[in-house]
Amino acid sequence: MKSIILKEKTLLLLGLFFLNTLIASDYHPANRLNTQDLFTNNYNPQNSWNYFKNEHAFKNVFLVFAGPYPTSPSSTFGHLFLLLEPVQSNDKPMLLWDSINFSANVQGINSFVKYYKGIFGGLVGYYQIMPFYEKLREYTFIESRPIWIFPLILDTIEKDLLLYYLYQEYYEKYNYIFHKTNCASKIESLINKSINKNITENPFITSPRLVIMNLNERLMTPYFIDSVENTLKSKKSNKIIKFDSEFSSENKNIPIKSEASILLKILEWKYFQRNTLLNNDEQKLLEELRLMASESETSNNIELVKQKKLFRIHAPVKYGIGTQSGIHNDHEIGFQFRLGLHEFSDNYDVYPKYDFITLMKVSMAIRKEHIILNELWLFDQLSLNPNNVISSYVSWRFGLGLVRIADGKNEYLSKGMYLGIGKTISPINEKTSFSFLINLNTIIEEKNDYSMYFVPELTTLLFINKILKMNLAISSSQDILRNSQIKTFFKTNIVFDLNSEYQLDFNSIGSSIGISFHLYLLKYFN
């Protein structure tokens, strides 16, 4: 009886939880923001298609992918929008071309409601047309995300249809859902309608990566624009160091003319990352640099589009088989499955090198005709954010999961929450980093006893080349609730990319009680 009541309560709660989704899913075009009024007030509705066509007619169209942005859930897997090269492109530089963007309106909505509605429905999604420079600034300057610009192959009729379908949808609003009705799905649907391709909508997830794969035959090799941050780093790291030490607004050194342009770019970028009002000295320094930069010829202007770059983005799912040896056991056959945005072992052509997000990871092994669980992560994020001379963020980790631990003669599953905070530096180049994290792991061990482990950890990540990377770590661990003995661990992880689909992953953990290791062959699930 008790369980029936509980069940009913649970169902009621679940019903209430999803009620919002049902209510929110009915958006009628008549409610479309003020743009509707604008058009009906200022233009004859019968001519509005002609107006739209004249304003936005294009000769070429590009599919633009902005790199993943783990800070925002709606952009975690990247962002897609269209870029239209106008018919009269000689009169309109690329920065002013129309970008066709689909996004959610989150103004006036707090974080919790945004995430809730983003997952279950209720955010208002709509198209926007804005000049390309605004999108470029948003992604490459503010959010430090590179972008790839794929020429999209459409014939004349398909181009006309694309514009027409855009016109039809432009004045409507939609129920935006992070994983389903998002920038990628709406842009894909527009293109598919234009090329008369019937695609059954994926009921679960549509990501920018999937759309790019689906449209692969229509896409040419993309142009690449790196983030301002990366461009600055690669251009003049020595100048940046000099800038930090000599040209801050506090000391009044005035830079020489030839350095004005690069210092202007660095300074502006730094101030925007800080996001606080400039003081008078800072404002004056910027103004002075602008005048100096305008007078001296420079090669420091950031090129918009010049290079083409192969686009290689890994799948979110990876699985593998391997051999592992524990402290108490001989070789075992192990299996691994992982779903997530990106982890250290993945290739990093598109994803940030130092942001790792796992949504689920399972590792199992066969032992004496039984299958045992070695590792299970429900969520694990490690954001290292290297602190070099021009960027400084906190490194952190949050993980929920369980891990099999060998302790003396015993083995047990340690379940709990793993928190860490610290700093990362990249003093040599972006391919080498040193992190120091202080972890506090609250876990339940055997017999449901709580433990809290204090774990300072020093980690080095080495991205040796495109196919080989290495992670070396040393940590100590002490249960601070029981004041237990300190244990020291050495960890090594070496990953070798065999090709774009297969990897060899070697992992070892050594401590005073022994050493364990595993060697896995991993494959992406495309």
Partner 1 sequence: MFKAMLSVIGLFLLTSCATITKGSTQLITINCNVTGAHVFIDGVEIGVTPFVGEIKKNQEMLTIEMDGYQNYSVALSKNLEGMFWGNIITGGTIGSMTDFSSGAAYAYAPASYHVELIGLDTGYDEFEKQLKLKKFAMINISNIALDLSNKDGQYLNSLFSLAGIENNDASAQMVLDNLNQAKGNQIVFANLMCENL
Burial of 310 (0-12, 13-18, 19+ CB in 10 A): exposed
Min dist. Cβ of residue 284 to partner 1 (A): 9
229's tokens = 């941050």
DSSP secondary structure code for residue 138 in this structure: I
| Only segment of 19-27, 268-276, 494-502, 506-514 that touches partner 1 (CB under 8 A) | 268-276
- 278 is a site residue for partner 1 (CB under 8 A): yes
- 261 is a site residue for partner 1 (CB under 8 A): yes
- 96 is a site residue for partner 1 (CB under 8 A): yes
**Are 439 and 463 in contact, with CB atoms under 8 Å apart?**
no
C-alpha span between 476 and 396 (Å, rounded): 18
Complete DSSP assignment for 370-422: EEEEEEEEEEEEEE-----SS----EEEEEEEEEEEEETTEEEEEEEEEEEEE
Which is closer to partner 1, CB of 325 or CB of 478? 478
102's tokens = 């689909």
Measured in degrees and rounded to the nearest 5, phi and psi for residue 395 equal: -90, 145
Tally of CB atoms within 10 A around 164: 15
Of residues 112 through 141, those in contact with partner 1 by CB under 8 A are 114, 128-131, 133-134, 137-138
Which is closer to partner 1, CB of 294 or CB of 307? 294
Min dist. Cβ of residue 491 to partner 1 (A): 23
Which is closer to partner 1, CB of 138 or CB of 349? 138
Which is closer to partner 1, CB of 33 or CB of 513? 33
Look at strands 317-325 and 223-225 and give their pairing. unpaired
- 444 is a site residue for partner 1 (CB under 8 A): no
**Are 148 and 64 in contact, with CB atoms under 8 Å apart?**
yes
Min dist. Cβ of residue 379 to partner 1 (A): 16
Min dist. Cβ of residue 137 to partner 1 (A): 5
Of the candidates 4, 23, 270, which has an alpha carbon nearest to the alpha carbon of residue 144? Answer: 270
Among 53, 59, 197, 274, binds partner 1 (CB under 8 A): 274
465's tokens = 């080349």
| Only segment of 244-252, 291-299, 309-317, 512-520 that touches partner 1 (CB under 8 A) | 291-299
> Cα angle vertex 166, ends 161, 171, to 5°?
145
Measured in degrees and rounded to the nearest 5, phi and psi for residue 499 equal: -160, -165
Question: What binding mask, one character per residue, do residues 35-54 give for partner 1 by CB under 8 A, x or -?
Answer: x-xx--xx------------
Min dist. Cβ of residue 264 to partner 1 (A): 5
DSSP secondary structure code for residue 142 in this structure: I
Question: What binding mask, one character per residue, do residues 393-422 give for partner 1 by CB under 8 A, x or -?
Answer: -x-x----------------------x-x-
Which is closer to partner 1, CB of 49 or CB of 272? 272
- 87 is a site residue for partner 1 (CB under 8 A): no
Min dist. Cβ of residue 173 to partner 1 (A): 11
Of the candidates 472, 465, 464, 460, which has an alpha carbon nearest to the alpha carbon of residue 506? Answer: 472
Q: Which residues bind partner 1 (CB under 8 A)?
A: 33-35, 37-38, 41-42, 91-96, 106-111, 114, 128-131, 133-134, 137-138, 142, 261, 264-265, 268, 271-272, 274-278, 283, 286-291, 293-298, 300-302, 304, 394, 396, 419, 421, 440, 442, 450, 452, 480-481
